[in-house]
Amino acid sequence: MSFIKRYLLPRLLQYFLVIFVGITVVFIVPRLTPVDPVQEMINTITQRGAYMDPEAIEQLRQSMKEMYGLEGTVFSQYISLWRRLIIGDFGPSLSQFPTPVVKLIGISLPWTLGLMLVTTLLSWIIGNILGGIAGYFSSSRWSAAIERFMMVLRPIPYYIFALILLLVFGYVIPIFPIAGGTSIGLKIQFSWKVIADLLRHAILPALSMILLGMAGWFQTMRLVMSNIVREDYVMYARAGGLRDTKIAFNYVIKNAMLPQVTGLALSLGQIFGGAMVTEMVFSYPGIGGLLYTAINAGDYNLIMGITMFSILGIATGALLVDLLYPLFDPRIRYR
């Protein structure tokens, strides 16, 4: 009962507060800009040479306000926004009319989650394991060699590193596809052929994210390890004759992982942000590419839908990691 009151309930309240504030900011910010999405769309239609009499323009304006959720007072628009979020209806996409926004997000979201979640977790696991081992055996030559490699790798900007991989393995040594998530004309179904094709197209974007992410986690973990190996309980374990491998994995790395778990929760918030750059470089289908298209087309409904789904996804991911934290830190369980 104490765990629920002191740990679980505060985090659930924080979760709903983050969603409430995030959605409210999403509602307020567009209304502070001088751009009127309805007028912009009408201007685009009239600039293409289509003649419309004033009555038709007014009818179009009213219809578009209804689709955008811009009817009535500001308060009624705010209530309408929450209603749309609860029922999952953000109206039709104006750039891909009349396809619903939810359908477009449902098509693109699995690509982004499949790529970004896997690469985030793999880079976190590999980077922490290598950093923990290298940090404990810091005097060895192989540890110094790995550290030098990571120091060279980490400062490289992501887009430059991604372009290097694309040029080397897509053009110079054409091993992997340079664009897309699947081969053209391939029907998505559960078969080994489809799975192999999906993996082949995902290797370059995944490799670019795993290597740079791994370098960051490695350096952070090694820095944490350099402080923990000087603790008294580590000296006592060595004096007691315990094997170095047992001390490293059972005690030192285990304790060093605690701040890294918190870092993992924070990195989940970068999933949707990193998706756009990755998907643009490798022409990979997903939420990032869809958002870029929506921004260029001025698709207000689609932009709002993606933004609100991103807030929900990031907050939920952070909450799940936060709730799993007691599994790594027994001090929380025994309070």
Q: Where are the domains of the chain?
A: 101-298
Confidence at residue 322, expressed as pLDDT on a 0 to 100 scale: 76
Task: Give the number of other Cβ atoms within 10 Å of residue 133's Cβ.
Answer: 22
Residue 42 token pair: 């009408």
3-state SS, one letter per residue, for 30-47 = HHHCCCCHHHHHHHHHHH
Average pLDDT over residues 208-227: 83
pLDDT in tens, 142-166: 878 888 888 888 888 877 888 888 8
For 145-214, the DSSP string reads HHHHHHHHHTTS-HHHHHHHHHHIIIIIS--S-SS-SS-TTPPP-SSHHHHHHHHHHHHHHHHHHHHHHH
pLDDT for res 329: 63
Q: In CATH, what is the architecture of 101-298?
A: Orthogonal Bundle (1.10)
Position with higher pLDDT, 187 vs 202: 202
